[in-house]
Amino acid sequence: MGKGNGKTDVKLDLDHELPAAEGGEETSASSPAAAAAPGTGSEIEKLRAERDALLDRLARLQAEFDNARKRAAREQQEFREFAAADVIKNILPVLDSFERALKASAGGSSDLRDGLELIYRQFQDALQKMGVQPIQTVGKPFDPRVHEAIEMVDTNDVEDHHVLDELQRGYKYKDRLLRPAMVRVARKL
């Protein structure tokens, strides 16, 4: 075929030809690839082994990627909870002020007290919806993980090493301690 007739010469690139399809479809003996490459059975086996190794590697990389994605999502959720805990810690002194105002207004105007109690309940409800729970103290055994003993009081009215009085309420956020409760602890005479 010459260049003048508008057709181009086609050269076969036998080094880059794909292996035969799986499932028994082999190239015929009269094809140029089969005639030019004696011993291709071992090369095909090498290529299949390489393909299997690459597929295995791909599966492992996909699993690693999936694990990394899950780990990143978990860390992001933990960070959100940590950030929320920090905000809640800053709000707790306001709640303490409400509690002190309610105690101080016990003998005062009933309208003022009713208004303070309403705001206090709304505030507590909002914190509860976020997952903040107060720590139960009075009458409970002293637990150094959630209680901070401010004073030991000699008495026979309460069992030994039980909380006698709460000075400042403690709080947990999703089972994490935000602030320990400041308490007075009973000591038997």
**Whole-number Å distance between alpha carbons of 177 and 85:** 9
pLDDT digits (tens, 9 = 90+) for 117-146: 888 888 888 888 888 899 999 989 999 999
| Extended strands (E) in the chain | 132-134, 147-154, 163-168, 171-173, 176-179, 181-187
Q: Selecting from 3.40.50.1480, 1.10.238.10, 2.20.70.10, 3.90.20.20, what CATH number does the domain 39-130 have?
A: 3.90.20.20
Confidence at residue 24, expressed as pLDDT on a 0 to 100 scale: 46
**Whole-number Å distance between alpha carbons of 49 and 159:** 75
* Domain 133-189 in this protein, CATH class: mainly beta
**Pair type for strands 147-154 and 176-179:** unpaired
Two domains, one topology: 39-130 and 133-189 = no
Q: Where are the domains of the chain?
A: 39-130, 133-189
Cα 69 to chain centroid distance, Å, stands at 11
**Pair type for strands 147-154 and 181-187:** parallel
pLDDT digits (tens, 9 = 90+) for 146-176: 999 999 999 888 888 999 999 999 999 888 8
Q: Is the pLDDT of residue 70 over 80?
A: yes
Tokens coding 59: 């599966």
